[in-house]
Amino acid sequence: MGGITLQDAGYSAGGKVILSGLSLHLEEPRIGIVGRNGSGKTTLLRLIAGLVAPSAGTVRVDGINPFADRKGALSRLGILFQNPEHQILFPTVEEELAFGLRQQGMPQRQALEAARAALAAEGRGHWAKAPVSTLSGGQKHWLCLQAVLLMAPATILLDEPFAGLDLPSIARVSRRLAALPQRLVTISHDTAAVAGADRVIWLEAGRIRTDGPPAEVLPGFTAEMARIGEADADADLAG
């Protein structure tokens, strides 16, 4: 079966339940996941990406288990971490880009050539040898997205893709993302980032609160956030 399927999936860590009873079938091209801080958005994304195994239920992507079958997962799922520092593994730009290709079985030389070609196509050929430590925050973000795109996964999971970017960068990245043929699953606490999605899932305390088109989900979400904001919004600990 195509798409991402969660069946009664849950995740607990250190005795705390972070996600529970999630049953979802995701196949729309643009999916948004909204929720407050600590609602389990990032954990859900990591669960789908196969970075963590569910402690209950199952997660399947096109029928495969993304946690156990990493080879199968690589062509199906790419994930953009919220913090580029947590994603970048290599000292130079070209090595960072080539790594994923090499993991997909491309020989090192070809992988490096593909990385340089991708940089040149974006007018950044001179970045190839640059140390990643010299890049600005926005440039690191761009590099991470590019590294994921080079692997050409069918679905890209985006964790707060606009966090920390300045306004021109946000415009550029959203234009870039909108043009992608891939399925995108975007998590955000900002309704603007998911307003154009085909489907929005509102996550609250590790469970699905509402699930539907943005016009149905977002007004309720916005109203609830405003209501909580009136009260003390931030006293509860996550989990």
Partner 1 sequence: MLTLTSPVETPLHRLPAGAKLAALAVFTLVLFRLSSPLPLAGAAALVAALHLPWGRTFALHALRMLRPLWPFVAVVALWHLWTRDLHGGAVILLRMVAAVAAANLVTMTTRLSDMLAVFETLARPLSPILPPRRLALAFALVIRFIPTLSDRMALLAQASRARSPRRPGWRLAVPATLAALDGADQAAEALRARGGSD
**Which residues contact partner 1 (rule: CB under 8 A)?**
46, 49-51, 70-71, 74, 78-79, 81, 85-92, 95, 99-100, 103-104, 129, 131-133, 147, 151
Nearest to 201 by CA among 66, 95, 44: 44
Contact 178, 97 (CB under 8 A): no
**Which of 99, 142 has the CB closer to partner 1?**
99
Contact 192, 222 (CB under 8 A): no
Collapsed DSSP state (helix, strand, coil) of residue 137:
helix
Least distance to partner 1 from the beta carbon of 147, Å? 7
Least distance to partner 1 from the beta carbon of 6, Å? 19
Least distance to partner 1 from the beta carbon of 204, Å? 25
| CA 216 to chain CA centroid, nearest Å | 23
Pairing of strands 183-188, 155-159: parallel
**Which of 61, 200 has the CB closer to partner 1?**
61
**Which of 88, 217 has the CB closer to partner 1?**
88
- Cα separation, 182 vs 186, in Å, equals 12
**Which of 192, 238 has the CB closer to partner 1?**
238
Least distance to partner 1 from the beta carbon of 3, Å? 20
